[in-house]
Chains A and B, each alone.
Chain A
Amino acid sequence: MTAVAPDEQSLVATPEFERSNERNKRRSGLLMALPAYVYLVLFFALPLIIVVVYSFATRTRSGGTALSGWNLDSYQKLGEPIVRDILFRSLLLALITTFICLVIAYPFSYYLSTRSPMVRNIMLVFVMIPFWSNFLVRNYAWRVLLGNNGPITRLTEGVGWEESSILFTPTAVVLGLVYGFLPFMILPMYAALERMDWSLIEASRDLGATGVQTFRNITLPLSRPGVIAGSILVFIPSLGAYVTPQILGGAKTTLLGSYIVTQFLTARNWPVGASVSTVLMVVMLGATLMYFRSGGKTL
């Protein structure tokens, strides 16, 4: 420690001593956080800056990127019907996915939070079990299930539902996304409901509120942080999803994730890929800020 030694005469903490003490505390804190800082700057902040910088660059004829002559050309391309359609389709599918997850997860979480601790833990394990196998494998599994000769298609045909396989349709994509991201909705929602003081519900009923009134005025507002956190955790990855639409969606259901990959790897138009990525990040940032604004503290 390099603390200034207190005056030999007085052993009280002088203002100088207090200041150097504060400084030392700050320094040692910084030292502990240093590895994390280095990691974040190297692998997160720097690539982010590169993406944003590239989004303002120009594509050369040969498919390279010229880091000169900054312009907004790539952003203007986002206004073109093809790209715009992809953007809206992605937003729509992400919203539908989020909504379906919400509708499924809320009653489930509510039920879960009213069970005994043992039942809760068992059920939570069931919620987590899908994570034990690879995401890619699970998506291919859906492909088999939904395929032309898959059990689900046979079942729907068996009941006389004329329509053949839903594979390679937006429905299949939403199904896959809901399946993949539902746990992200359940967990924060359950955490919020589980934290809730159930005597508030009793108090509400005692004060003359019906069950519905209690839900609207007490349960829902108090579980809102969980609802918003879950929605963001589902909405954001759904919006940028790549694997699921690629495997379960057809050519007609190109989403943002696939589009970005195409721009970088096939079309070799890095500025456009970068600008779409930037827009996507801004949308996500907006969603996250909304969450903090609404009073949520942790994701």
Chain B
Amino acid sequence: MTEQSTSAVSINGVTKRFGDVVAVDNVNLEIADGEFFAMLGPSGCGKTTTLRMIAGLEFPTEGSLQIFGEEVGTLPPNKRPVNTVFQNYALFPHMNILDNVSFGLRMKGVDKKTASAQANEMIDLVRLGGMEKRRPNQLSGGQQQRVALARALVNKPKVLLLDEPLGALDLKLRQDMQTELKSLQRELGVSFVFVTHDQEEALTMSDRIAVMHDGQLLQVGNPEQLYSQPVNRFVADFIGQTNLIDATVADDEMIVLANGTKVRAPNPHPPGTKVAMSLRPESIMIGDREAVPSESQSTSLSGVISSVVYLGHSVVYTVNVDWMPLEVRVPAVAGVSRYEAGAEIAIWWDRLSDWIVPDEGYRG
């Protein structure tokens, strides 16, 4: 790390083919040192294959893959300064926890005493002190997860790779582990590269997220960028919940919706382009038809409420606007009466809260 600009992981034009199947398609990615980086996408999108290529468990068909500036393309996993936490943990069932955790050190020829001492330190760090002599199958899922973490971290990897590490845990435990992983990463200052299909998990934990789909990298950015400025329909739909409304560009200020309504939506596309307008459920306001504020006249639609779901902190209305249902989420305020199903209302939104994406590829 002599140069400041050296990325922890640098992926340039990497493609991976399995026979005729293109698992990863010309991906370019830079992961900074000390970053908590998530690779997000539905199953089969190539995120795990990308992770496995960094680990050395798969080799790229094309392109260059560097770890701290060193080309690692076809280097076997044992010669890379990275370690992996596997999806099913892959703990060695015939070894106790101490032997599992000290495995990496012993394989590198560290003497048994030093290896045990370091392993014990790491076991304490993941709060498993006293479990050293147990076998993996005697531990709970959460504990096994922490052994897998300790087993990887004890080798002091320059980058820690995590393949859906929380997938097998139940919700409560998963939330606890999210916080724990995050603070562990901050404490160690090592880059964590983390694969998940759970967008909420990715948003909660990551400094930056890469969204993948069909082997392609669609967008890289921090959680806020991905949420508020998705590059296309897929990302808009995948990150959080949204209403995607098909439209055609009229000019750089206006778009035309399916039923001919014109709404204000500044956009950079040439007239006639098919686009989709992403409107987050929480950024839509709801009210009586005559209550639409004058400055929002050009960003409003009228509709009929078809269902009302009370969620405690908020109320979710399904509003039928002529040609499609939209989801609207408003805070539940005690004492304020709610609309009933069948009510004829208007919805409107702030001029800055919509986001226009090109209408291409995936349709949710």
In Å, the complex CA distance between A199 and B151 comes to: 15
Q: Does B104 contact A (CB under 8 A)?
A: yes
**Are A221's CB and B94's CB within 8 A?**
yes
In the assembled complex, the Cα of A103 lies from the Cα of B184 at a distance in Å of: 47
B77 near A202 with CB under 8 A, answer yes
Q: Which of A197, A200, A208, A218 is in CB contact (< 8 Å) with B78?
A: A208
Q: Which of the candidate stretches B15-23, B82-90, B273-281 sits at the interface with the other chain? A: B82-90
Contact A206 B57 (CB under 8 A): yes
Which residues of the other chain, A, contact B88 by a CB distance below 8 angstroms? Answer: 197, 199
Least Cβ distance of B122 to chain A in Å? 13
A197 proximity list for chain B (CB < 8 A):
88, 90
Cβ of B108 within 8 Å of any chain A Cβ, yes or no, is yes
Contacts of B84 in A (CB 8 A): 202-203, 206
A208 to B77, CA, bound (A): 7
Interface residues of B in 73-112 (CB under 8 A from A): 76-78, 82-84, 86-88, 90-94, 103-104, 107-108
A204 interface residue (CB < 8 Å to B):
yes
B286 at the binding interface (Cβ < 8 Å): no
- Chain A residues numbered 166-205 whose CB sits less than 8 Å from any CB in chain B: 197, 199-200, 202-205
* A287 on interface, CB distance cutoff 8 Å: no
Contact status B103-A207, CB under 8 Å: yes
A162–B320 CA distance with the chains assembled, in angstroms: 96
In the complex formed, the residue of A with least CB distance to B81 is A208
Within 8 A of B (CB), among A194-245: 197, 199-200, 202-210, 213, 217-218, 221-222
Tell me if B155 counts as interface (CB < 8 A to partner A).
yes
Chain B residues with Cβ below 8 Å from A222 are 93-94
Q: Are A199 and B83 in contact (CB under 8 A)?
A: no
B57 adjacent to A207 (CB under 8 Å): no
A208 contact from B86, B87, B104, Cβ within 8 A: B104
**A210-B78, A213-B107 as given contacts; A202 in contact with B90, CB under 8 Å:** yes
Residues of B within 8 Å of A205, CB to CB, are 56-57, 76-78
| Residue positions of A touching B, CB distance < 8 A | 197, 199-200, 202-210, 213, 217-218, 221-222
Query: Can you sample 9 A-B contacts with CB below 8 Å?
Result: A197-B88, A204-B107, A205-B56, A206-B56, A206-B77, A206-B152, A207-B83, A207-B155, A209-B107
With contacts A199-B88, A209-B107 known, what are 5 further pairs, Cβ within 8 A? A202-B84, A204-B107, A206-B84, A207-B152, A208-B108
